[in-house]
Structure 1
Amino acid sequence: MKPTLPATLLHTLAPWRNAPAWHIAFSGGLDSTVLLHLLASLAKIENLPPVSAVHVHHGLQAAADAWPAHCQSVCDALGVPLRVMRVQVSPGASLERAAREARYQAFMQVMVAGEVLFTGQHRDDQAETLLFRLLRGAGVRGLASMPEHRPLAQGHLVRPLLAFSRSELEAYAHQHQLQWIEDPSNADPRFSRNYLRHRVFPTLTERWPQAITHLARTAEHMAEAQGLLDELALMDLQRADQPSTFPWLPLPSLALEPLRELSDARQRNALRHWLIPLTGLPDSDHWAGWHALRDAKGDAQPLWRLADGQMQRSGERIWWLPSTWSEFSDASVSWPDPQNPLELTGNGQLKFIGEAPEGPLVIRYRQGGEIIDVPGRGRRDLKRLLNESGMPGFVRGRLPLVYRGEQLLAVPSVAGAWARSVGEVQLDWLPQSCDQGLS
């Protein structure tokens, strides 16, 4: 006999029993109403973390204005605190996606470290997700569909109902005489998921009654396959994660040669894994940018533009530059008191270590043709000095140059490569979001 829904759910919840708090994403629909009732009922007989509900009001349709009151009445009856959050949905090509992003932004505002947010997606949702992504040409990661749990803000997002079908949730709701909201937009076939739910799946299940179960099982297989690919990626990235000669530079980077030794498929697998926390992943046709970056000549400075930044190559190393990397002002800045550190807008901090020269000084950025006096080497061209150091080209435009009048007085230098500055004074630059500076 199949275990009851509460018993199975309690087993699924076991890893999260020690969380500081549980939140339920409560739309008022069937799925979240069943989940809320289940957790509120279990909380009466089990020692569970504090349970509360969160209702996100998108304001996209007039009918939705009545939903917060309905959700409040349900929560009051169950003795569960409710928080209603109103969001603005940014217009875009996909209203579904924009609403989802706004909803999860609201959820992240609720989360505190270690807390758990439960959502009510079920087996039918999983099957729809798989088929939807299959039709979009997704790879293994996409076809793994919705994971049972994943990180969210400082806590965790958990989907404890994925093992159950919508019909099982309906049966539970009728058994306990639950009342839920029927969202009118769920019947609109203009939305892709609704089209699949109302037009495609009825036809599939008429011919193959177990289609939803089998598709959800395929998503499980894909999730397992993706886990193996992730393990392989970690092995390959471990070889490429060699220390940079610029430890002060606050950017993710990898050695290129260990990646070159891999097959093209393993390169893409490793880079997908590496890029996930950094940017939206490229589609299949966009990987030509990686090949151009990888195969460029050593003295070239190729780049590969992605959704949230770009990958650049300097010598035999690749670097990730987020979109925010270029958000700094290269206008001249006065430094009236060099005895104290100077905060550079969007470009970190500059300070002298030792007896600083008398001010006022001015910070400028490279224009080309700069000359500096180097103790023991005479007047040297700054470009040549930077070339000797091997400093990546994308850093050079941000390098703060310290002037007194028209004299280039000091430049942060690579330790041991060329002069620090006059005498024993050392100029230290701590780039944005970096723990170690360039001296």
Structure 2
Amino acid sequence: MDSVLLLHVTAYLYAHSGQVSAIHINHQLQPNADDAERFCEDICRELGVPLDIRRVIVSSRETPEIDTSGGVEEAARNARYQVFEEILAPGELLLMAHHGDDQAETVLFRLLRGTGVVGLGGMPITRPLGAGRLYRPLLDFSRAELHAWAAEHGIEWMEDPSNIDERFDRNFLRASIFPLLKSRWPSLISRMGHTAHSCREADELAGKLAEIHFQQCAGPSGELCLSAVGALSLAEQKNLLRWWVGHFHYQSPTMADWSQVLQDFLDSPADREPELRGAGFVIRRFRGCLYLVPEFTELPAGKPVLIPDRALWWGEWRLTLAASGKPKTPAPEIRVSTRAGGERIRPAPGGPSKSLKNWLQEKNVPPWERARLPLLLEVVGGHEEVVGAGDLWVSGKYCGEAPASGWRIVVERECN
């Protein structure tokens, strides 16, 4: 009902503008899924609104990218939002028909799951989504108000049979809990809307405070200095870490005991390596700082050889061998490998050689990066000589405006 009403209102406001289109996601989960698809086709044809129909497979071995760990409701949401992100172009708005009752159900549902202020803020009116934005214009209206308007104007809609299945938590709240609460507190929906608004404001203020603390505690690469973090209160430390994880576009983990995690980072002996794992990242400690490290991709097997003008991806590094002008010698054999132990490099031309292990320690390269660093090995007479170490150093023989060999090794790194 709410989606159909929103479609009518939008089509009326922007009639003949060519600016409105609709999308229907067929999750293929309900017995009447095809009937609902045909209904959407009919109503959009009647309103003169172009319709994009997308069929998704919610849970299948063929679609491992769809997260089904949160149950079928969450999996269906992930599937449709994945489509939304794909189709939204810059400057476009995706209008959603969530209303005040939906907001109240969300707040109560998250309260029962033990969420914090962020969750109790409910659904935002607008937020970025893909290349565009999501916008919910009906959040200030109740379901009863929308139903009355739809009925008054003779708007027809189809009910989703899954909405009456109380095996789903939200449906249980909607059908069994909220009617009872509303009978006792008639203004429940608006009250919970005010609560959500207050929590969003509190979260916004907490974010601004965390940003101030980040500026006080952050190093040049975005790491957190533990001595500065330790000067904050426990609540400020937790707030900073949650903001820090979100700042790098990851979802903050739900921790049962944040205080123990922080104590491990701050107080555990230097020879220990405490860490906190999240979805797609790990927080690690190194030389008095906390680093947020992305989950690594697998490295190529063996020792691949650089082929001229063909990029080789080594984890987050992009390696290319290119001719400088018109080289007088054939392309050298440059292999790529990780450390095996015992390697030596000559950082300064004509200078003494150094142990690669010691040199990396002098450069403050964290141990998790040392293990993945691409070593560039030139093969001469069956012997391998280190001529590059990731984006940290490349021999003058293969870098600069006029490399001595006539060949240039280009090392680029994708960083957050």
| Aligned residue in 2 for 1:6 | none
Give the alignment partner of residue 58 of structure 1, picking from 23, 27, 35.
27
Residue number in structure 2 paired with 1:68: 37
2:193 to 216, 227, 230: 216
Question: CA contact under 8 A between 2:306 and 2:336: conserved in structure 1?
Answer: yes
- CA distance in 1 between counterparts of 2:357 and 2:25 reads 55
1:430 and 2:411 aligned: yes
The match for 1:367 is 340
Structure 1 residue 373: Cα displacement: 4.7
2: CA distance between counterparts of 1:100 and 1:52? 21
- Structure 1 residue 395 corresponds to structure 2 residue 369: yes
The 8 Å contact of residues 290 and 304 in structure 1, kept in 2 or not, is answered as no
Cα deviations by residue, 1:309-328 (Å, 9 ceiling, x for unpaired): 211222233222222x2322
Q: CA deviation at 1:280?
A: 2.4
Q: How well do the aligned residues superpose, as a CA RMSD in angstroms?
A: 2.8
Partner of 1:136: 113
Counterpart contact for 2:399–2:409, Cα < 8 Å: no
Matches of 2:397 and 2:303 in 1, distance apart?
25
Structure 2 Cα separation of the partners of residues 316 and 429 of structure 1: 32
- Asked if the contact 1:336/1:359 (under 8 Å) is kept, the reply is no
Q: For structure 1, list consecutive stretches of 5 or more residues without a partner in the other structure.
A: 1-29, 245-251
Q: CA deviation at 1:137?
A: 0.7
Alignment partner, residue 242 of structure 2:
272
Secondary structure of the 2:305 match is strand
Alpha-carbon offset, residue 286 of structure 1: 5.4
Correspondence for 2:354? 380
Q: Is the 8 A contact 1:334 1:360 kept in 2?
A: yes
Give the 3 Å change call, closer, same or farther, for CA 42–414 of structure 1 in structure 2. Answer: closer
Deviation at 1:293, TM superposition (A): 2.9
Structure 1 pair 164–133 and aligned structure 2 pair: CA distance change class (3 A): same
Distance in 2 of aligned mates of 1:282 and 1:151: 22
Within a 5 Å distance, the mapping from 1:134-173 to structure 2 comes to: 134-173=111-150
Tell me the distance in 2 between the aligned counterparts of 1:313 and 1:291.
12
After TM superposition, the structure 1 stretch with the greater mean CA deviation from structure 2, 64-73 or 404-413, is 404-413
Alignment pair present for 1:407 and 2:384:
yes
How many Å separate the matches in 2 of 1:327 and 1:424?
27
Shift of 1:67: 0.6
Matches within 5 A, 1:29-428: 30-44=1-15, 50-90=19-59, 91-244=68-221, 253-276=223-246, 277-285=248-256, 287=258, 288-298=260-270, 300-323=272-295, 325-329=296-300, 331-335=302-306, 340=309, 342-350=311-319, 359-373=332-346, 378-403=352-377, 404=379, 405-412=382-389, 421=395, 425=399
Q: Distance in 2 between matches of 1:351 and 1:106?
A: 35
SS of the aligned residue for 1:209 comes to coil
* Partner Cα separation in structure 2 for residue 357 and residue 395 of structure 1: 32
**How many Å separate the matches in 2 of 1:196 and 1:321?**
39
CA drift at 1:69: 0.9
Q: Aligned partner of 1:370: which letter? A: E
2:14 aligns to what SS in structure 1? helix
Give the aligned partner of residue 26 of structure 1: none
CA distance in 2, matches of 1:49, 1:222: 38
Query: More displaced, 135-144 or 426-435?
Result: 426-435
SS at match of 1:33: helix
Moved more, 97-106 or 361-370: 361-370
Give the distance between the partners of 1:48 and 1:229, measured in 2 at CA: 42
Q: Distance in 2 between matches of 1:326 and 1:317?
A: 24
Comparing 61-70 with 362-371, greater Cα deviation is found at 362-371
CA contact (8 A) 2:305 2:335 kept: yes
CA 43–391 in structure 1, closer or farther in 2 if over 3 Å, else same: same
Contact 1:289 1:304 in 2 (8 A): yes
Q: Deviation digits for residues 229-273 of structure 1, max 9, x if unmatched? A: 1111221222234323xxxxxxx6444443332212112212212
Cα distance change, pair 269–185 in 1 and its aligned pair in 2 (3 A): same
What's the secondary structure of 1:54's corresponding residue? strand
Deviation, structure 1 residue 297: 4.3
TM-superposition CA deviations, 1:56-83 (whole Å, max 9, x none): 0000011111011111111122221111
Contact 1:402 1:409 in 2 (8 A): yes
Aligned residues: 391
Q: Quick one: distance in 2 between partners of 1:294 and 1:428?
A: 41
Contact 1:330 1:365 (8 Å CA) reproduced: no
Q: What is the distance in 1 between the residues matched to 2:102 and 2:415?
A: 42
CA distance in 1 between partners of 2:298 and 2:363 (Å)? 25
Give, in whole Å, the separation in 1 of the partners of 2:276 and 2:269.
Answer: 15
Distance 1:320 1:425 in 2: 31
Q: Flag the 1:414–1:184 CA change in 2: closer, same or farther, 3 A.
A: closer
CA 1:328/1:294 → structure 2, altered by over 3 Å: closer, same or farther?
A: farther
Q: Which amino acid is the alignment partner of residue 233 of structure 2?
A: S
CA distance in 2: counterparts of 1:49 and 1:224, whole angstroms: 37
Mean alpha-carbon deviation: is it higher for 112-121 or for 376-385? 376-385
Q: CA-to-partner distance for each residue in 1:326-365, whole Å, 9 max, x for gaps?
A: 322252112365xx57523434233579789962232221
CA gap 1:350/1:64 in 2 versus in 1, 3 angstroms: closer
